[in-house]
A and B are shown apart, each in its own frame.
Chain A
Amino acid sequence: MAKTLFDKIWDAHLVRDDLIYIDLHLVHEVTSPQAFDGLRLTGRRVRRPGRTIATADHNVPTDGTPRASLIADPLSRVQVETLERNCAEFGIPVYSLGSDRRGIVHVIGPELGLTQPGLTIVCGDSHTSTHGAFGALAFGIGTSEVEHVLATQTLVQRRPKTMRILYDGALGFGVTAKDLILATIGRLGTAGCTGYVVEYAGAPIEAMSMENRMTVCNMTIEGGGRAGMVAPDDTTFAYLTGREAAPAGSEWEDALGYWRALPTEDGATFDREERIDASVLSPMVTWGTTPGMVAGVGEAVPDPAGLDSPADRDAAERALAYMGLRPGTPFTQISLDRVFIGSCTNSRIEDLRAAARIVDGRRVAPTVRAMVVPGSVAVKTQAEAEGLDRIFASAGFEWRDAGCSMCLGMNPDTLSPQERCASTSNRNFEGRQGAGGRTHLVSPEMAAAAAIEGRFVDIREWS
């Protein structure tokens, strides 16, 4: 019977019924301390330290703090130091502050070449779906499961349902991977993919770079799907070539043979299929407090009264009150206090290049505080080699050190109450970027242009 990409990976990793083998376990400081404690309490060891890697990202300041011991916030310091101590005790490679391999866990995995087609990858972070861009099965887990994987290198999992989202057409000028996934979540809803592993397919996906595919897969969880995937192809293999942890020599040829056999076969069936025309999509802006509350930049803040279900109406009314928005306000009339370019969704080199092209030779509006936070030390180094840091700095952007930064406000980068932010991150939940902060999710290009104008603009018409 014809198999899907997911079927092939699942079947190749079944240890026994409902127990799957995990090839790569990514660890960070926030969701791991209690798991390591659990191991100590029970006298268990880490089964495969060589399939495990750790980094500090959520808590780290982005001001150049060189060592964990110098983190000013005592709770953050303890958490990062605890990660370093746990990794030393259990023999796990760790890239903490001071390492030039450090970065957001979902940026460094691909960057180092650890993220490869056909693997099972987990991490105590819901945006682990990012790694599915390589044709891997990658998903977020909780701390109990982190402990389970550390102890057994396996996970208890029921086979999920499969879904394919097939995109037709091509993305128009100024419309990005971020807009495609935001529009998809807007269409299918924040629980639209719950219970499914989603394969993204079709011409617009095939035309995307690896970094754009990562942006799409990253936000799968915002639509409820635990894992998103894209079939590996020549774009994937070209990205992996020469990376540190990628196979080399005859091993590369063997791997390539295996990877080329992974894509979904003709005639394979999914439990559900959706089709979306990519050619009609526009740059998107979220207006509410879930990523599904989203519309094209040319539109206006919707009127909750126009919604059918009482639950949707109630949610939209509360969202608009929180966001301080009136129905009918055109998005291009919404002015901003802050702009954040960063996060595991949009902090890779291509994101920074795209934003830099927009701001080159311009100035950030005087009413706006704007920051760029590269996803990893390697991205930062690369951007500086290309002169992007100077473009951002001379435009008035703050050029920061790598980390999760203002995506989730666990470090000093936060919004103040009622500050309004155009953000390239992935969640616009209440208080996500700081208590009372108001987040609008957009692409790097839209965020960059918004920083210059001090309000949202349609980058397709902006010059």
Chain B
Amino acid sequence: MEPVTTISGRVTVLDRADVDTDQIIPKQFLKRIERTGFGEFLFYDWIRSGEIALEPNPILAAGRNFGCGSSREHAVWAIRQFGFAAVVAPSFSDIFSSNATKNGLLPVALPDEDVHALMQSGEATIDLAAQTVRFAGRVASFDIDTEVKRRLLEGLDDIAITLTHAADIDIFERRATHPSPSTAGL
């Protein structure tokens, strides 16, 4: 994964709450078996019907509970491949947030009024190391899990890190005593 440090540029506005992953990438595009090729189908139904127009800028600003619903990581791939590097919203669904950071898409949660001011501002600079968003002469701070931040800043791969702890997993498996089923031989 490419490291994520600073994201700077114009802001695309999608001032809607509860934007669900079915809207972000409708189901007919989930049949692909590749990780690429989703960007052109981002918000397919809303764009095709003329409800919204989206400019491919570095930053997308949206309403609360962004990315709710289905766990489809295709939603994150579509946003990333369309060109966005960060989404700023008052809140995100848990699964979307975690999918985003595993693909170098930065979810930035700011209070409602900051998100609205950002929507007006047109441009912003997000500094992950400093955990700040600068726009229209303001500086807003955001929270992010320290470990998630470290992995983003250094562009680290979760699986590679976990595999360095393989010995711990071996020990856990040897010691675990709780009952659990096998799927083999059913």
* A159 CB, min distance to chain B CBs, angstroms: 11
Whether, in the assembled complex, B27 has its beta carbon less than 8 Å from a beta carbon of chain A, the answer is yes
Q: Which of A48-56, A268-276, A452-460 contacts B (4 or more CB under 8 A)?
A: A48-56
Chain B contacts for A78, CB-based, 8 A: 31, 33
Q: Does B5 interact with chain A (Cβ within 8 Å)?
A: no
Instruction: Report Cα–Cα, A142/B74, bound state, in Å.
Output: 9
Chain A nearest Cβ from B75, distance in angstroms: 9
Give Cα A112 to B74, complex, Å: 30
Interface flag for A37 (CB, 8 Å): yes
Tell me if B71 and A151 are in contact (CB < 8 A).
Answer: no
Which applies to chain B's interface (DSSP): helix, strand, loop or mixed? loop
In the complex, A154 has a CB within 8 A of chain B: yes
Q: Given B22, B71, B94, B102, which contacts A31 in the complex, CB threshold below 8 Å?
A: B71
- B69 close to A (CB within 8 Å): yes
Contact in complex: A290, B183 (CB < 8 Å): no
Q: Does B130 contact A (CB under 8 A)?
A: no
B165 / chain A contacts, CB cutoff of 8 Å: 15-16, 19
In whole angstroms, how far apart are the Cα atoms of A19 and B180 in the complex?
A: 18
**B residues less than 8 Å from A318 (CB atoms):** 16
Q: Could you tell me if A33 and B70 are in contact, using CB atoms closer than 8 angstroms?
A: no
Count of A-B contacts with CB under 8 A? 214
Q: A410–B28 contact, CB under 8 A?
A: yes
B93 engages A93 (CB within 8 Å): no
Q: Contact at A126–B70, with CB atoms within 8 Å?
A: yes
Shortest beta-carbon distance from A270 to chain B in Å: 18
B118 CB to closest chain A CB (Å) equals: 16
Surface stretch bound by A, among B6-14, B119-127, B132-140, B156-164: B156-164
Given A31-B72, A114-B183, A190-B18, do A145 and B65 touch, yes or no (CB 8 Å)? no
Expressed in whole angstroms, the Cα–Cα distance for A224 and B68 within the complex equals 7
Residues of A within 8 A of B27 (CB): 408-410, 432
A201 contact set on B, CB distance < 8 A? none
Contact (Cβ within 8 A) A151 B163: yes
Q: Does any Cβ of B come within 8 Å of A394's Cβ?
A: no
B17 near A315 with CB under 8 A, answer: yes
- A119 contacts the other chain (CB 8 A): yes
Give the complex CA separation of A78 and B181 in angstroms. 31
Residues of B within 8 A of A304 (CB): none
Chain A residue contacts of B103, Cβ below 8 A: 144
Q: Which of A194, A314, A315 sits near B94, CB closer than 8 Å?
A: A194
Task: Return the CB mask of A1-39 against B: 1 if under 8 Å, else 0.
Answer: 000000000001001101101011000001101100110
Q: Which residues of B contact A12 (CB under 8 A)?
A: 176, 178
Residue tally, chain A, CB below 8 Å to B: 89
How many interface residues does B have (CB within 8 Å)?
57
| Cβ proximity bits A380-412 to B, threshold 8 Å, 1 near / 0 not | 000000000000000000000000000011100
- How far is B180's CA from A118's CA once the two chains are assembled, in angstroms? 8
In the assembled complex, how far is the CB of residue B16 from the closest CB belonging to chain A, in whole angstroms?
7
- Report how far A222 CA is from B20 CA in the complex, Å: 11
Q: Which of A79, A148, A245, A409 contacts B159 (CB 8 A)?
A: A148
Judged by a CB distance under 8 angstroms, whether B99 is at the interface is yes
7 nearest A-B residue pairs (beta carbon): A142-B99, A33-B33, A142-B73, A75-B31, A144-B102, A255-B179, A50-B184
A-B contact pairs, 10 of them (CB 8 A): A15-B165, A24-B181, A49-B183, A52-B183, A119-B181, A141-B95, A142-B76, A142-B95, A145-B98, A410-B31
A residues touching B (Cβ–Cβ < 8 Å)? 12, 15-16, 18-19, 21, 23-24, 30-31, 33-34, 37-38, 42, 44, 47, 49-53, 58-59, 73, 75-76, 78-79, 82, 92-93, 101, 112-114, 116, 118-119, 124-126, 140-145, 147-148, 151-154, 156, 158, 160, 190-191, 194-195, 221-222, 224, 226, 244-247, 251, 254-255, 258-259, 290, 311-312, 314-315, 318, 408-410, 427, 429-432, 435
